Structure 1
Amino acid sequence: MATVADSPPQKYALVTGCTPGGIGHSLALTLAAPPYSYHVLATVRDPSKPDLSTLSSRPNITLLPLDVTSSASISALVEQISSITSSRLHLLVNNAGRNYTVPGIEVSMAEVRSVFETNVFSVIKLTNALAPLLLNAASSPSSHGHINFLLRLATFGMLSPLSSPEPRPTIINIGSLAGTLPYVFGSVYNASKAALHSYGDTLRVELEPFGVDVVTIVTGGVKSNIGRVERHLKADSRYRDAEAEYAHRQKYAAEVGMRNEEYARRVCRRVLKAGEKGYVWEG
């Protein structure tokens, strides 16, 4: 008969952007349930909102406030997480993001900066802040004497991740097909996701010798709340003749995409059970 002493230690996962109706919400629920059974730290801007009861009612989901664009908010979050997890984190899912569907020659620079702040800079800031906790959870990081050698091997694809019966501490960045293909009217969003992909790919090489995996999910069409902001072309837009296509482009994924619950199940299975590395294409 199994005893408490025989039970595996609790693993902790942090998921950003867990608003109901989105990918993060479904990922949090999936990770908290068997067979994964993480204690999920689910972040939202305002945990007191009543529509978050599907998360707050779960005993192994803790709702935490986070504005990913605020350095002060990130610092406060790290303090909370360190206290809850004894300074160990096993999974970081950088999911929070925003869309921006506007013709490239008609964008607002304030919006451009906001998109990159949310989709790129905040990911870097949060990852840097939580890296010590992920490294603490790594069972056997390489000694400093081997780091340079291992980095050279990893850079040229000559270093394979060590096999392990359990997933290593992992960073999952929710990327997008838009970072690889010219999603029309999404030049700024596309560029932000391309930057995220490149950042994650390099971070994967840099953290491999320390026993931490980095996976980029190249997300296709998924039904989520990221595209719910309805925009209209400006009255003097050069694309007025394409107004119908512009409106269709904004709603396409929400109408025909994969259900976010199914997406979450598939991502967790492929990364945490099948152990897929690098880029994982889903949705």
Structure 2
Amino acid sequence: MDKLNIAVEFLLEHKLLLTILIIVLISMIKRLVISQIRGDVAFLTEVQRKWMSRTKNGTFLLIIVILFMLWQTEISKFALSVTAIAIAFVVASKEIILCFTGSIQRASSRSFVIGDWIEVGKICGEVIEHNLMATVIQEIDLHHGQYHFTGKTATLPNSMFFSYAVKNLNFMKRYVYHDFQITVVEFVNLYPLFPELYEKIEAHCEEFSEVAKRYNSVIEKHAGVDLPGAEPHIHITSGINGEQFVHIMIFCPTEQAIHLEQLIREDFMIAYHEAFGKDRLL
């Protein structure tokens, strides 16, 4: 007991050494817990990511609380003696403060959780981690009409939530309103092609049409708005040079959207070729 008391007194007298020991010990425990949560799987589930994020955030807060209690006397003396420096520090750490408050704003509004697809500014992706300072997402190439991961990881400071609107795209993980256009240079009557094109689109979507209607209804009830519906939509607009743009929108499983687009483009080109001859070009 005497040796233990001597060791405790020594550590309390040398707070810097004690601080290092506390950080190292808690970090080792954190790594051990995270390794247990991760296991030997190649791909993390959403539940694993949530628990890993909670572990990291919890250990970070624990370290902050312990160090604050340990250095409370020194912090109080410092705050009282160097008020001007403290004010300058607050001004200099404006971005850090915004990150903290942005984290509080995200938590209070529940705008997204780990596993959701979000869009912040021009960046879209799936949330894989969030903490007091930043949110980490796996980027998705939505702005080019694609729905696959780019392989890039983006770290967004939480201060961005005050500068950009956060769009939750979570319903797009399963089904998406996929729209694209086909440009026709010749100004011809394209409307006679549409009945057959509708039939072919419905044939392509037949295997999931019932599920799509139910999912569309669920989204409408959740959002409280009247959405376009699960059936395909086709309309035409014209350009300044007389060209025509055929706009097609389908409600389909996200992973099949690009494949279905290619099938529909092929159907349209075949119908256009049969109706207007081999010499006309798209």
Q: What band does the TM-score fall into relative to the shorter chain?
A: under 0.3
Per residue, is there more strand in 1 or in 2?
Answer: 2
Max Rg structure: 2
- If the length of structure 2 is used for normalisation, what is the TM-score? 0.26
- If the length of structure 1 is used for normalisation, what is the TM-score? 0.26
Structure with greater contact order relative to length (CA < 8 Å, sep ≥ 6):
1
